[in-house]
A and B are shown apart, each in its own frame.
Chain A
Amino acid sequence: MTDENPQKPFDEAEYRRRQRSRANLMGWILGALALLFFFITMARMVPHS
């Protein structure tokens, strides 16, 4: 019986590269959000004229 849904060979190097790139990006985004939320809190505490 032939395989009707042949799968591409698993490329571990590409898997790791993407995992690393996503983890790095997530780190930067979370850092930026922490800063943004800090600044929003500051902005809400100080009345803006």
Chain B
Amino acid sequence: MAQSLTHGEMSLPADWRDLFALTKPRVMSLVVFTALCGLLAAPGSVHPVLAFSSILAIALGAGASGALNQWYEAGLDAKMKRTAGRPLPAGRLDPQTALHFGVGLAAFSVFLMLFAANWQAAVLLTVSILFYVFVYTMWLKPRTPQNIVIGGAAGAFPPLIGWVAATGGVAPLPVLLFLLIFLWTPPHFWALALFVRSDYAAAGIPMMPVVAGESSTRRQILFYALIMAAAAIAPWPLGYTGALYGWTAVLLSALFVLLSIQVGTRRTGEDDRMQPEKRLFAYSIAYLFILFGAVVADHWWPL
């Protein structure tokens, strides 16, 4: 149940900026980009209007998931410095509006996908929204430090949905792209969790650094970075992509592993500024953007 905040009887209508912030626009940008890459890398061509509508549906679905996540976690967000300024914990929006907005947006996104693409993509979009809200947000996140590992599947759906929207079916390449984001999520989030560890501890969220400690988290970052690198390069030797993607994946993944070694093998003192962790976190975002860009570039201009 949402840990709702109390509001005055005569609350102000929600400002559109707060509703927009509820959709986690920064997360949405990565979702839109990876979905677009999945759609553009698919064989055949899609009418531009249908392609735009499918990507819009995925973006709205991601926004709905973000809104429902913030509705459910309002109480926890209020305890963390990083999230205390969000519309719900800051008291600028009432929980019921957020819930209605999230449910309405989710329903509309699925309807739009069904209308613009096909039922297979609409089903996948529904599954990804339900997985993020019920499995990740409500079930895994408050209970287990493996929340990010399993919950990462929710963020891995967009390229698969983009591909299915374009073709109506699943193929090995989008499944490998799904696997890539799935394995990328733990090192990405644990790098962040290492430098905002006290925030998660204060909110009582069992993130890996809080439960298993720093050194175990660092080892696991390195472990996941290694298997992620293998998954990132795999489409090339398996013949699903060409050399352009292959070399990009090799070089970028090597740098990812190097940065993870830095994070994975060091010990920190009291006043550590966590620069390697911040660097890995920032690089991991660029890594995914460039790698997915390379998937499309490779499809259009094979070497």
Contacts and interface: CB of A to CB of B under 8 A. Distances in A.
Interface string A21-45: 1100100000000001101101110
Q: Say whether chain B's binding surface is mostly helix, strand, loop, or mixed.
A: loop
Contacts of A19: 13
Contacts of B6: 5
Nearest to A46: B47
Contact of A22 (B14, B45, B49, B53): B14
A1 B47 CA distance: 68
A21 B17 CA distance: 11
Contacts of A5: 6
B68 interface: no
A26 to B, nearest CB: 9
B271 interface: no
Interface string B44-58: 011101100100100
B45 A48 contact: yes
Give the size range of A's interface with the partner: 20 to 34
Q: Say whether chain A's binding surface is mostly helix, strand, loop, or mixed.
A: helix
A40 B115 contact: yes
A5 B9 CA distance: 11
B136 to A, nearest CB: 28
A7 B12 CA distance: 12
A18 B15 contact: yes
Nearest to B16: A25
Contact of B47 (A8, A36, A48): A48
Contacts of A15: 12-13
B12 A40 contact: no
Interface of A: 5, 7-8, 10-11, 14-15, 18-19, 21-22, 25, 36-37, 39-40, 42-44, 46, 48-49
Interface of B: 6, 8-10, 12-16, 45-47, 49-50, 53, 56, 115-116
10 contacts: A5-B6, A7-B8, A18-B12, A18-B14, A18-B15, A21-B15, A22-B13, A40-B115, A48-B46, A49-B45
Given A21-B16, A42-B49, 5 more contacts: A8-B8, A18-B14, A21-B15, A36-B49, A48-B47
